[in-house]
Amino acid sequence: MKLAVTAPERLHVRTVPVADPGDLIARLPHPAGQAWVRHGEGIVGWGEAARLRLPGGPDRFTRADRWLRDLFASAAIDDPVRLPGTGPVAFGSFGFDPKSPDSVLIVPRWVVGRRDGQAWLTTIGDDTDPLALVHPPTAPTRLTWNDGALSAPAWQQAVAAAVDRITTGALGKVVLARDLYARADEPIDARVLLSRLSGRFPGCYTFAVAGLVGATPELLIRRTGDTVESLVLAGTTARGTGPADDDARAARLAASAKDLCEHAYAAEMVRDALAPLCTELTVPERPELLRLPNVMHLASPVHGRLADHRSVLEVVAALHPTPAVCGTPTDTAMTLIRELEGMDRGRYAGPVGWVDARGDGEWGIALRCAEIDGTRARLFAGCGIVADSDPADELTEAQNKFRAMQYALEG
């Protein structure tokens, strides 16, 4: 299958400094926008100067990187701001499974950004935005909910089957996901979901790319020049009913052999993937605790310095899929996911983020998300399964992870 490309022969790009734009998400003039925002900083974009759809294949990151390099190298770029995210930017979202044909890159015609107290506007082509006067966002109403590929009992059976496979020694860990459907009376406006998510989960990366909307806590990779950063998350518990219960749950998570084992698989893989690319690499010996409004995670922040010039997409290619969203060994876990989940994840648990013409960018893992298609939303949640996983506990964890997007839809 060939690449599906929509792009002019040459981009004409202009970035200018602007006054503080305020709420970035509120700047999106219509639902079909792209976003990457955390703690009020980041970039949002709308319109399409170029789009690339990639078929499946293990080389999809390489092909995407090559296409962007060629596109941006031929562009006429006026960028006096010169910060990560200025000049031409591509928002992207890749399929989880190498066989997935859902990967996409979009270069918006208009981008508004803010970073370290500086704000900018990037335009490609004509400055006039023909879509600027579209109606304001409207919240979803009259939602109805339905199971996805597997009912709760059937998914618990899949978890039990995975545990059986693990205890035979076939693999160490596998991540199994569920999907859930919501339907509204009118088309769902992604801007409402983005606003609710960024307000409720400001420490997460709130994103929208080609209809995939969410707020992920997991930073797969950030590249700024020759430095890279990652945040490994694996091992989860729900928040408590009060401070004392919260602290007790946190203590149990920090001491849980099951969760520490799950986390170690993920942290070691990130270390092993980044070490050949870096001259310096720091991975903490023990994870710390990340508290979010609905759950707590074991977290390991990773820092490194690249040995050679590599774009952020080249580093993404080395990292995906991590044991935090697939399992270990990777190929065995991927095969078991295809066998037990009963669905195509699409872009759920795949890399999502942005890259600019310098190769800088930020990419997360598409978690706590939903795929929006007209009046329908498809939600996803996954859990890491190891030898001592309990199917009922894993179902509870998945239900906790659904709550972020249920809140975004229901308010």
Q: Which of 218, 314, 362, 371 is catalytic?
A: 218
Please report which residue ranges of 306-375 form alpha helices under DSSP H. 312-319, 330-340
Q: Is 173 a catalytic residue?
A: yes
* Per-residue tokens: 203: 């420490």
What single letter denotes the amino acid at residue 143? L
Rounded Cα gap, residues 344 and 371, in angstroms: 12
The residue among 300, 349, 298 whose CA lies nearest residue 326 is: 349
* Residues linked to residue 53 through DSSP beta bridges, in sequence order: 4, 104
Rounded Cα gap, residues 404 and 21, in angstroms: 27
CA 392 vs CA 154, 168, 397, 398: distances in Å: 11, 21, 9, 10
Would you give the DSSP letter of residue 3?
Answer: -
Angle at 222 between CA 219 and CA 227, to 5 degrees: 140
Rounded Cα gap, residues 257 and 389, in angstroms: 11
DSSP string, 178-242: EEEEEE-SS---HHHHHHHHHHH-TTSEEEEETTEEEEE--EEEEEETTEEEEEEEEEEEE--SS
Rounded Cα gap, residues 217 and 232, in angstroms: 9
Q: Is 218 a catalytic residue?
A: yes
Long-range contacts of 246-251 (CB under 8 A, 24+ apart): 246/291, 249/296, 250/289, 250/291, 250/296
Q: Which of 173, 262, 341, 394 is catalytic?
A: 173
Residue 193, by phi and psi: left (phi above 0), alpha (psi -120 to 50) or beta?
alpha
Peptide bond between residue 140 and the one before it cis (omega within 30 degrees of 0): no
Rounded Cα gap, residues 52 and 250, in angstroms: 43
Do 234 and 263 contact (CB within 8 A), yes or no? yes
3-class state of residue 107 by DSSP = strand
- Residues annotated as part of the active site: 173, 218
